[in-house]
Structure 1
Amino acid sequence: MKTTKHNDDVFLSQWIDGQISDSEFKDIVGDKDFISYKKIVAGIGVYEQLQKPLDHTFEKIKEKIKSKNKTRSSIKTKNLYPKIALAAAAAIVLFFSLNTLLKTHDIEYVSNFGEQKTVTLLDGSEVIMNAKSQLKYHEKDWKQTREVFLEGEAFFKVAKGKTFTVVTHHGTVTVLGTQFNIISNAGFFDVLCYQGKVKVASNNQVFIIAPNQSIRYNNGVFENKTLNFLHSNPTWMDGESSFRRVPLSQVIMALEKQFNIAFNSSNIDESVLFTGSFNNKNLNIALASVFETVNIKYTILDKKILLSP
């Protein structure tokens, strides 16, 4: 919210009293917040007061309104009390709703461009995040759920214990104690198992994969493959990003995350499948490794790469 806490109370009283219109109040608090405030006839200023005794909140709102309506008749003031009561009662609903929302993702980790970030979870499980990835979990519910939320790519070394679940936009991955890698990007989902067994649930389908197996979702199609891994962990952890029959669009996205650059790829076919790797430390070597392999020309223009057939 853009207004100060004091102004929140004033604007709230003015809105309840009809001194300012819905459109004016919307301009003050913003479209997104107004939708919620409209339903509960209260603002964030009231929510903040709920941590104090409710009767104190009720009296404060009344005092605010009275200070703004000294010239109004006592009948008019009495008529406002039901509205004030509604605001106070509704604010209770807001308190519990926002309290739940704010606890939805207590802990959050974000890796930057070209960065790997290692996170140790509360149970001792270790997560190594690839560049431009995000990991969240509920600290309060951790012991009961062992559940994390992932966007991007990460390698998991899960400590033995209760079921451990990784939630992504494309599906969930459930294990007990194992090691696996997940990629969850726009339109692409890939899970590789290195140790133990992994259950993948996505689009009403369930897959169980063992070491040296992977499950991939690309363009609406699932692929279940058995592979011959040459490494005990993903190669990106050692400075090299490797791909096996991956759409070029995903390779370009990986380059953007590693080197903080943008691509103009409107003139090429991004659905072409790429198998190969690129160095995570040297942009020139990385570009040559990828685009010379698929016979695509590239031109470096400051922080932007122009691709052409």
Structure 2
Amino acid sequence: MPSNHKDDEFEELPEPAVSPLEEEAIRWLVRLTSGEANAAEKAQFERWSNQSPEHREALRNARQLWASLEGVLAEPQEEIPPAVVAKKPVEAPSRRSSVFRYFALAASLLLGAGVAYQSLHDWRHDFVTATGRQEHIKLADNSTVTLNTDTAIDVQYSSLERRIVLARGEAFFDVTHNPELPFIVKAGEGEVRVLGTAFSVRKDGDQLLVTVERGRVEVRAGADFVVLTPNQQVRFNGGVLREAQVIDSHSQLAWRRGRLIIEDQPLSQVISELDRYHPGMFVVTNDAVGSRRVNAVIDLAHIDDWLAALGDSQPIELHRYGFVTVIR
């Protein structure tokens, strides 16, 4: 598909002017809701917010924006028949669409502030990948790690064990066999122990997903544990280690080959997964569109092209507002 095709499919809109004080207020909200703000930063925020009436006004507007954003982005849209989508003329923006555009562009600003904050703190980790990037790492014992999109790990080797801490994201490990030196992956409250094997660990907040391609691994969460063999997967979330499931590891781990293999999944779930690999934000605002079942092999280097092709073949509208792509 020609690379410029997406320009015909996505509606590009200019970003509204935002004052430096408003930007600062939004950055404070991003920081304070990250869960990592310390007492000193909270005290600094209190001093900042009480500097002047203008500071308090900027903060009040930012809080209102933050509280209203989710509802505006999730507002259901009327489903449009394919013929209407194809022939619908361009209309002047309505008051509602202008409000939607403003909030979507504000989401772009929030997203940009969050990314900026994260990049300033990634120096704490040994290895980090940006959104949409992957990295292959060879460790001191000749084991290898492949980091998926937006991933951070720390390597803590000692004379007693080989330990990796997965701070966020997803990593595939191909471990050199050494029964005298256990290989351990720590991710949140979960822990994976192996001797020699190939497997992946994915951490999304407090949720953990472990997939085995070769060998055996033991997944522990508190006193609970499960042993996985090839083509098995287990989830840990809500403090509970779930039952192991049989899967196709070749399909599940296709991201290592730059692909995402989708088998009969709702579009909303597909979009949520693609969001991990794409700089920006995807928002599905139509429940009927989000529930459509999808089968696809997606090239992760050309996500926009795949979405444009989907818009050609389905009654789906795609609009871009800054960093936010709206699918309805």
TM-score normalised per structure 1: 0.55
Counterpart position of 1:112: 130
Counterpart Cα distance in 2 of 1:221 and 1:246: 24
Counterpart position of 1:159: 176
2:281 pairs with 1:287:
no
Which consecutive residues of structure 1, in runs of 5 or more, have no partner in the other structure? 1-29, 36-104
Counterpart position of 2:320: 300
2:148 pairs with 1:130:
yes
Counterpart position of 1:148: 164
Counterpart Cα distance in 2 of 1:289 and 1:191: 32
After TM superposition, give the deviation of residue 192 of structure 1 in Å: 1.1
Taking the TM superposition and a 5 Å limit, the aligned residue runs for 1:130-279 are 130-138=148-156, 141-150=157-166, 151-161=168-178, 162-186=181-205, 188-202=207-221, 204-217=223-236, 222-230=242-250, 234-242=253-261, 251-265=270-284, 268=287, 276-279=296-299
After TM superposition, give the deviation of residue 307 of structure 1 in Å: 3.2
2:40 pairs with 1:32:
yes
AA in 2 matched with 1:114: G
After TM superposition, give the deviation of residue 32 of structure 1 in Å: 3.0
Alpha-carbon distance change, 246 to 111 in structure 1, aligned in 2, over 3 angstroms? farther
TM-score normalised per structure 2: 0.52
Equivalences, count:
207
Counterpart position of 2:67: none
Alpha-carbon distance change, 248 to 126 in structure 1, aligned in 2, over 3 angstroms? farther
The structure with more radius of gyration: 1
Alpha-carbon distance change, 137 to 215 in structure 1, aligned in 2, over 3 angstroms? same
Alpha-carbon distance change, 174 to 234 in structure 1, aligned in 2, over 3 angstroms? same
Counterpart Cα distance in 1 of 2:218 and 2:255: 23
Q: Any idea what the Cα deviations from partners look like across 1:164-212, whole Å, max 9, x if unmatched?
A: 1111125111101100012111354221111110111125421101011
Q: Any idea what the Cα deviations from partners look like across 1:224-272, whole Å, max 9, x if unmatched?
A: 21234446x9211111023568787764454233221212346659899
Alpha-carbon distance change, 301 to 130 in structure 1, aligned in 2, over 3 angstroms? same
After TM superposition, give the deviation of residue 293 of structure 1 in Å: 10
Cα contact 2:187–2:203 (8 A) shared by 1: yes
AA in 2 matched with 1:300: R
Cα contact 1:197–1:209 (8 A) shared by 2: yes
Counterpart Cα distance in 2 of 1:263 and 1:240: 19
Counterpart Cα distance in 1 of 2:314 and 2:139: 40
CA RMSD of aligned residues (A): 3.8
After TM superposition, give the deviation of residue 33 of structure 1 in Å: 8.2
Cα contact 2:225–2:241 (8 A) shared by 1: no
Cα contact 2:190–2:236 (8 A) shared by 1: no
Which consecutive residues of structure 2, in runs of 5 or more, have no partner in the other structure? 1-37, 44-122
